[in-house]
Amino acid sequence: MKPYLREKIPTSFEDIPETTSYEAGFLVTKNAGWRNVRPVIDPAKCVGCLNCYLYCPDGVISRKDGKVQIDYDFCKGCGICKKICKLKAIELEAEK
């Protein structure tokens, strides 16, 4: 099943906030303890398009030091970011 695609909104890397939802004060407790897979970004494939940021339902993807990063304290491992990444720069790895 293809993910639902929103109307294209022009964005640039600089439009993306450098804070996650947690850092912005929307979440109060770490809540990723039940995640069984974690998304891992391959920096060699990632071009910083930030589609993953736009579609992450938990707001845990942000840009830090010029790179796309995931806040694993709050990521639920839903895999939407992997699904939406056209460059296949995100893999889901089993939690150990």
By the criterion CB under 6 A, which residues form the site for ligand SF4? Answer: 39, 41, 46-52, 56, 58, 60-61, 68, 70, 75-81, 84-85, 87, 89-90
**Judging by beta carbons within 10 Å of its beta carbon (0-12, 13-18, 19+), is residue 20 exposed, middle or buried?**
buried
User: Between 25 and 66, whose beta carbon lies closer to ligand SF4?
Assistant: 66
Assess contact for 61 and 70: CB atoms under 8 A.
yes
> Cβ 73 to ligand SF4, closest distance in Å?
11
Nearer to ligand SF4 (CB atom), residue 22 or residue 77: 77
